[in-house]
């Protein structure tokens, strides 16, 4: 009976270690102030990014420090054929400002694509 409890305790510890190791949080550096697709703008700096997968949508949540949520925005996940060797932040210049279009996270086989809709043409009278 004593050994059975010990084995259960070890198994529970291994499960907790595995769960902690498979966290979807990643550290990234944003080099310049940028908008996240059509979402919020974030300042340059280091962030912790967590991916929250829901049944029909996903969100990227950006934190500064341990628990200071800075931004939350919807993302589309695109499956890639291989894991990313390093974290990559892709952006482009739009109307004089930087817009982050996608992020590849080190060790992930998914690309986070930030939603963008083209600006509607202005109507002239």
> Using the 8-state DSSP alphabet, how is residue 66 labeled?
T
Kindly state the percentage of the chain with pLDDT values over 70: 74
- Which tens digits make up the pLDDT trace of 53-64? 988 899 999 999
> Using the 8-state DSSP alphabet, how is residue 65 labeled?
T
Alpha-carbon span 50 to 71, nearest angstrom: 11
Instruction: Name the residue among 54, 53, 92, 52 with its Cα closest to residue 62.
Output: 52
- Which tens digits make up the pLDDT trace of 60-91? 999 998 789 999 999 999 999 999 999 999 99
pTM: 0.72
- What residue ranges do the domains of the chain occupy? 23-114
Alpha-carbon span 94 to 98, nearest angstrom: 6
Identify the three-state secondary structure at position 12: helix
């Amino acid at each position: 009976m004593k050994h059975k409890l010990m084995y259960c305790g070890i198994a529970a510890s291994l499960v907790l270690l595995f769960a902690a190791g498979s966290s979807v949080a990643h550290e990234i550096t944003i080099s310049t102030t940028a908008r996240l697709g059509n979402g919020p703008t974030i300042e340059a700096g280091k962030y912790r990014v967590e991916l929250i997968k829901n049944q029909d949508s996903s969100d990227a949540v950006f934190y500064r420090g341990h628990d200071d949520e800075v931004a939350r925005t919807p993302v589309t996940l695109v499956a890639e054929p291989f894991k990313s060797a390093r974290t990559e932040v892709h952006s482009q210049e739009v109307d004089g400002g930087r817009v982050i279009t996608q992020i590849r996270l080190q060790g992930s086989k998914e690309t986070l694509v930030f939603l963008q809709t083209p600006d509607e043409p202005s109507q002239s009278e």
